[in-house]
Amino acid sequence: MADPDQRTVKTTRTSLEIVATIREADGARVSDIVDAHGMAKSTAHKHLTTLERAGYLTKSGAVYHLGFKFLNLGEYARERWYWFSAVKAAVEDLAERTEEECDFVVDDHGRVITVAESYHKWAKYGTEGGSKRYRANIGTYYPIHATGSGLAILSAYPRERVEAIVDEWGLASLTGHTITSREDLFEELRRTRKRGYAVGDRYYTDGLRSVGRPVTGADGTVLGALSVSGPTYRIDGPVLNREIPRALDDVVDSLESELAAATGT
C-alpha cells in the first residue's frame, strides 16, 4: 500500500503543521518554529512570511499568531453545511425546553467539535456544587470519549470505528471520573445504546454532566449529536433520568424528520 505522505505536498503539510504549532503555543517566534520543526531559520521565516501575507497569521513584535482569516473560513465552513439552519433551530429549541446550555457537535477526524450552541437566559454557572464555569464554544474541539455528545456519537458507530478512534487519540484522563480504559468505554457505549442516550458524568470537568443523543440522516449516517450540559446539582434525579431525555427525544425526532423531508425520503 502506498505511503499516504506520498500523496501530499510536503511544503503545504509543513505550513499546516506550523499553523498547528502556533495555535497550540498561543503564539510563536521564528526560533520556536525552528526548534519545534527542526528546520533552518530561513525556511521557517519563509513559511511564516507567506502565511502572514496571505492573512492567515498576524505578527505582534516578534510573535506570530493566527489571523482572523481563519474565523472567516470557519464561519463559511459552518454555514455552508447543508443542515446548519435546521440544526441551529433544534439547539435553540432544546435550550428553551431544558433551560440549560445546549449544543450540537460533529465528529471531525476522531474528535468532536461544536458547530452550534445556545445558552438559555436562565442558565447560570459558577462554583456552586463544585462545577467550574463551562460554556460550549463554537469551533472548540473536545475528546470524543469525555462528553455526552461524543459518547452518543460513538454509540452509533461500529466497534471497528471506535477502536480506530481510540488507537489514534487514546483515552486521556481529564478528571478522576473520565473513562480511560477500552473495557469501560465499550461498557458505557452498551449502556448508552440500551437507554437511548449518553451521559457524560463529570468526564470532561468536575461538577459537570452532559446528556447527548446521536442525530442521523435518512440514510442512517451519523450527522452529529445534540446535548444538554449543566452542573451536577441541577442535572440529577428526574431531570437527568426523565426530563432531559424526553426533551432530547422530542427535538431529535423532530430534527431527523425535518432532515428526511428535506432529502425527499
Neighbouring CB atoms inside 10 A of 213's CB total: 26
Identify the CATH number of the domain defined by range 4-67. Answer: 1.10.10.10
What whole-number distance in Å separates Cα of residue 179 and Cα of residue 238? 24
Which residues are within 8 A (CB) of 246 and not within 5 positions of it... i.e. 6 or more apart? none
Q: What residue type is assigned to position 72 of the chain?
A: N
What CATH topology corresponds to 74-262? Beta-Lactamase (3.30.450)
Per-residue pLDDT of the chain (265 residues; tens, 9 = 90+): 445 556 668 889 999 999 989 988 999 999 999 999 999 999 999 999 999 999 999 999 999 999 988 888 887 887 777 788 899 999 999 999 999 999 999 999 999 999 988 875 655 544 444 434 445 577 888 999 999 999 999 999 999 999 999 999 999 999 999 999 999 999 999 999 999 999 999 999 999 999 999 999 888 899 999 999 999 999 999 999 999 999 999 999 999 999 888 876 5
The structure's pTM equals 0.79
Pinpoint the residues of the chain covered by CATH 1.10.10.10.
Answer: 4-67
Could you tell me where in the chain the CATH 3.30.450.40 domains are found? 74-262
